[in-house]
Chain A
Amino acid sequence: MVDLTRRFDVLVIGGGNAALCAAISARRAGASVLVLEGAPKFYRGGNTRHTRNMRCAHDAATEILTGPYTEEEFWQDLLLVTGGQTDEELARFMIHESKDILNWIVEQGVRWQPSLGGTLSLGRTNSFFLGGGRAMLNALYRTAEELGVDILYDAEVIDLKIEDGMFLSAQLKQPVGGRTEVRASTLVAAAGGFEANIEWLKQYWGEAADNFLIRGTPYNRGAILKMLLAKGVQEIGDPTQCHAVAIDARAPKFDGGIITRHDSVVFGIVVNKHAERFYDEGEDIWPKRYAIWGRLVAAQPDQIAYIIFDSTVVTSFMPTLFPPIAGATIAELAGKLELDAAALEQTITGFNAAVQPGTFDHTILDDCRTEGITPAKTHWARRIETPPYLAYPVRPGITFTYLGTRVNRQSRMLMKDGKSSANMFAAGEIMAGNVLGKGYAAGIGMTIGSVFGRVAGREAAKNARN
């Protein structure tokens, strides 16, 4: 039983990677720590449950990484994806710290995937968690427990008492036990973004948000973020910016995770509900092509689109959770997709006629392209002509949001008046916008959470003792 009447040194709100890194680092720095995770035990760890890898700078190849990935290169990649919308000082600090995180995280019991040879090719930039994100979370939880961190599940924080940028206490709501006031000397907010709060998304996206699917946890409803912003914490990031990919329309509303994704776009064409193409499917290679389609589909009528390809390419991409919808003729396929058959036939005939001869190679920007149609398909364009014809229906799948709390290098929250908070820190998705103004580079969510979580915990512990 956790004694909630005592005053903790550090209160951590959240239960994902950022929260656990903060809790462990605070505890290792000698603080008493309470973690309040809003989700039940099975769902602990929010979106972190669904992750697979982390991006860290490193100077040489290791057992788990091929080749070096220098700080400068990491910075250039970040600059590229964000189009410069990043706080350079914080970003460079994070990149520098990421080097040490590779080892620190192992000391916390997390294991990396070694090369198995054969099927598994390792990345140069990203290290993979052995067993995935839930395995890494399980390890963090075990370590936190062993260190004596107090953890409560089903422990949703519903209110924060904050005066002049100073955290005083939190209102905790539990299914059994009801409401409790929890006091602590410092606060680490690591409660994720607000992507699971459709009402809030609607403020920026309108009714379209009703058709969004949320790839991760249903528990990231942004309540903590909203309270903090309402109580004078400075805001960062564009609320309409988020990480969104196109995922299978048959996926569950929440928590479908990684397995609902499609990486078949380059092998076919994408049409909307009027059976019209609307964007160059051959614009760029992964991961860019992957991360733009969520937004593109969100802009289409009824937020639905269909990836259409033929039977020659089915084995070219990852096996999919949901089987493709198949038709012996274009018209039959159109019928199953509830699209206008004549319109789809016209689109495909037009596309096929525009395809130019070339040498197909999906690993590079090849010379297979179309001529005379808009939008063009600038690479990997091949005729769709071998039945059965196949399709995946897709919808926008929201990964996480970027609106967040402003922080400094200590992970300390900054208030609207520019002063830093007396005792409030933030880590992870809730402050990701500091680094990620827009765009996304795979594995950076974990970097943000681990680096700023570790810093936040350490600083909070120091703060509590003073």
Chain B
Amino acid sequence: MHGTRILQEADRLMTVCNSCRYCEGLCAVFPAMEMRRAFSDGDLNYLANLCHACGACYTDCQFSPPHEFNVNVPKTLAVARAESYAAYAWPRAFAGAFARNGLFISLIAALSVAAFIFGFAAINDPGVLYGIHTGPGAFYKLMPHNAMALLFGAALLYAILALMMGVRAFWRAIGEPIGMKTDPKSLLQAMRDAGELRYLDGGGVGCFNEDDHPTDRRKLYHHFTFYGFALCFAATCVGTLYHYLLAREAPYAWWDLPVVLGTLGGIGLVVGPIGLLSEKWKRDPVLVDEQQMGMDTAFILMLFLTSISGLALLLWRESAAMGPLLALHLGVVFALFITMPYGKFVHGIYRFVALVRYARERQMMAE
């Protein structure tokens, strides 16, 4: 017996699939399943997070509905996956954030933005908020750099801690033996698999989204989003280094590394999220976990808002709009950071961990 109804269903499906195995060439889920004959809650959560929701095993299954065996692996694993995020959330008290996630994220985002606006207004005189500031240190007229660094550093550290605690719980539940460390080779393999989204290709033809014609669009938009995010993150890191190591203050010229990275990343984070959202709306409802729509949309929008507000700031940083734009941008980024462990962001983390586990399992098999 399993903890939840969806795990019960996932177990039923894995039993069907394990006696069939036609999909074993499509992705990692099926070979991983074949290494087991019975499935614990942890096993099922592991398989659920290995699934990239490419939809191939639904389109290719002779038992998908209306067949009486009613096999819908992508949807079942999507629901299980969403539930697994809550199951491993840290601290436990915040697990509830996954239940109406869209609302939760939007509230936090709105509050953060408001807090920055009021914060700016409170510590400075209102004129500063709408004033025109240029040259190095312009941003810090609104908020001292150290305050900014402290606030964001703390938010990020908290997010990292919470994520790590979640991952630890997940690793415990899926790993055997408990406490097992992974090896560099598996780690590298997982990084490669994650970096190229190897399992979002339906075994080679592409992802199935609105119908039975595979495309690579979801993969492409995913790449835009992921690498866009990575570039933005890199921009922040370089900026921080500039500040502390080189004592060079933001804003930087358009050709300077943090701005170039940030701009490229920002573009990725505009194209990617818009693409993902439009693909999501087109997606065949039979593959979709409706419960998750809020969470997915909220995360995509947060990424989009981050990039759009960042780009807007770049464009209008020498105008009176700079103050409100900075507040908006910082508010969104702040909200993004602190909600990271409690929203769709975690899917990447858990998927990566699952990939590590898979690479590890494969290796042990080969030995």
Q: Which A residues have a C-beta under 8 Å from some C-beta of B?
A: 42, 49-50, 52, 111, 113-114, 116-120, 128-135, 138, 142, 252, 255, 257-259, 315, 318-321
Contacts and interface: CB of A to CB of B under 8 A. Distances in A.
B60 A131 contact: yes
Interface of B: 15-16, 18-20, 22-26, 31, 34-35, 37, 56-57, 59-64, 66-69, 202-205, 212-213, 362, 365-366
B19 A318 contact: yes
A133 B62 contact: yes
B34 A111 contact: no
Contacts of A128: 25
Contacts of A138: 59-60, 212
A194 to B, nearest CB: 21
B37 A315 contact: yes
Contact of A130 (B16, B25, B34, B67): B25
A296 B225 CA distance: 60
20 contacts: A111-B205, A113-B25, A116-B25, A116-B31, A118-B362, A118-B366, A119-B365, A131-B56, A131-B203, A132-B23, A135-B56, A135-B60, A138-B60, A255-B68, A257-B63, A258-B22, A259-B69, A318-B18, A319-B19, A321-B15
Given A130-B203, A134-B61, A114 B31 contact: no
A44 B349 CA distance: 40
Contacts of B59: 134-135, 138
Given A258-B22, A259-B20, 16 more contacts: A42-B64, A42-B67, A114-B25, A116-B25, A118-B365, A119-B24, A120-B24, A120-B25, A132-B22, A132-B60, A133-B22, A134-B61, A135-B56, A135-B59, A252-B68, A320-B19
* Most chain A beta-carbon contacts within 10 A, residue among B22, B61, B62, B213: B62
Contacts of A320: 19
* Most chain B beta-carbon contacts within 10 A, residue among A50, A117, A135, A142: A135
Given A111-B204, A111-B205, A321 B35 contact: no
B20 A258 contact: yes
Contacts of A119: 24, 31, 34-35, 365
A120 B21 CA distance: 10
B15 to A, nearest CB: 7
B93 to A, nearest CB: 39
A111 B203 CA distance: 9
B366 A117 contact: yes
B198 to A, nearest CB: 12
Contacts, number: 90
A359 to B, nearest CB: 26
* Most chain A beta-carbon contacts within 10 A, residue among B18, B24, B204: B24
Contact of B67 (A114, A129, A255, A319): A255
Nearest to A314: B37
Nearest to A248: B19
Nearest to B366: A118
Contact of B19 (A113, A116, A321): A321
Given A130-B203, A320-B19, A257 B62 contact: yes
A118 B61 contact: no
* Most chain B beta-carbon contacts within 10 A, residue among A49, A52, A119, A131: A131
A360 B204 CA distance: 41
Contacts of B35: 119
A146 to B, nearest CB: 10
Contacts of B31: 116, 118-120
A7 B62 CA distance: 34
Contacts of B57: 131
Nearest to A145: B213
A319 B15 contact: yes
A42 B365 CA distance: 37
A37 to B, nearest CB: 15
Nearest to B203: A130
A134 B61 CA distance: 6
Contacts of B18: 318-319
Given A117-B366, A321-B15, A50 B62 contact: yes
A309 to B, nearest CB: 16
Nearest to B21: A318
A142 B212 contact: yes
A131 B19 contact: no
A68 B131 CA distance: 80
Q: Nearest 4 A-B pairs (CB), nearest first?
A: A132-B22, A135-B60, A131-B60, A49-B62
Given A131-B25, A134-B61, A315-B37, A259 B56 contact: no
Nearest to A142: B213
B16 A259 contact: yes
Nearest to B28: A116
A87 B34 CA distance: 41
Nearest to A217: B62
Contact of A319 (B37, B61, B366): B37
